[in-house]
Structure 1
Amino acid sequence: MLARIRNASLARHERTDVPLSKLKVHVAEILRDEGFVLGFSVDEGARTISIQLKYHGRDRHSAIAGIRRASRPGRRVYVGHDEIPKVQNGTGVAILSTSQGVMTDRSAREKRVGGEILCEVW
């Protein structure tokens, strides 16, 4: 999902489609709420999520300057609530999978829960 979003934003596409899963829907909700994408829609029949990308200015600079996957199948990254990293000195956001659901680094610090760092977006 992250690679498709990165590639579509570099190619200046209006939207990108990714296969449907509950985790991806939660990540798309966070990206929308944090202002990195305009929105998304779920197509249950085709089992896809269509994500509308966001651009700024006349030159159409992407709202997503960078996106990086932190946890991989071969190397899971788990942190406690006091070890959650700040992305780009707080201008970016880390998305975590916790026991209380998928959430941003700020809300995980507020709720004092740790978990697996899925990705970082700035």
Structure 2
Amino acid sequence: MTDPISDFLTRLRNASKAKLDVCVNPHSNLKESVAAILKAEGYVSDFSNSVDAQGHKTLVVKMKYVDGAPAITGLTRVSTPGRRLYFSYTDIPRVLNGLGIGIISTSKGLMKDADCRRNKAGGELICNVW
């Protein structure tokens, strides 16, 4: 697999469109940090770690729906392995004029765009969620 983060975001997007209760993904610390930000912002209900039958760690994300509609209406990968996009804290683009969030990998860990501006930390823009 070339881009595990893109695969994770695609699984979340597909699970929300198919109105599944949970989305099961291979575990990594970066994916867990993205899931923690999505939970803090109210895009997913919960997430947990588990071990499957073969002994591999998995990340189980419980999807959130508001009146039958998915809480995640859009999810795009911005920085790819072939085209990394880095922004200083003053140049971070706003997602839907502030209605969505951007997830940024900084030297202080993963943060949403508003926290990056507040803490004056730039980095690689991973994805946009709205």
Q: TM-score, normalised by structure 1?
A: 0.96
Q: Which residue of 1 aligns with 2:105?
A: 97
Distance 1:117 1:111 in 2: 16
Q: State whether structure 2 residue 53 is matched by structure 1 residue 46.
A: no
User: Which residue type is aligned with residue 102 of structure 1?
Assistant: L
Unpaired segments of 5 or more residues in structure 1?
Answer: none
Does residue 37 (structure 1) correspond to residue 37 (structure 2)? The answer is: no
Q: What's the counterpart of residue 16 of structure 2?
A: 9
Which residue identity does 1:79 align to in structure 2?
Answer: F
Percent sequence identity over aligned pairs: 45
Task: Tell me the equivalent position of 1:118.
Answer: 126
How many residues are matched?
A: 120
Q: In structure 2, how many angstroms separate the alpha carbons of the residues matched to 1:121 and 1:63?
A: 10
In the TM superposition, what is the alpha-carbon distance from 1:46 to its structure 2 partner? 3.1
CA shift, 1:43, in A, is 1.4
**SS at 1:9 equivalent:** helix
Measured in 1, the distance between the counterparts of 2:126 and 2:20 equals: 24
| Alignment RMSD | 0.8
1:108 aligns with 2:102: no
Which secondary structure does the structure 2 equivalent of 1:113 belong to? coil
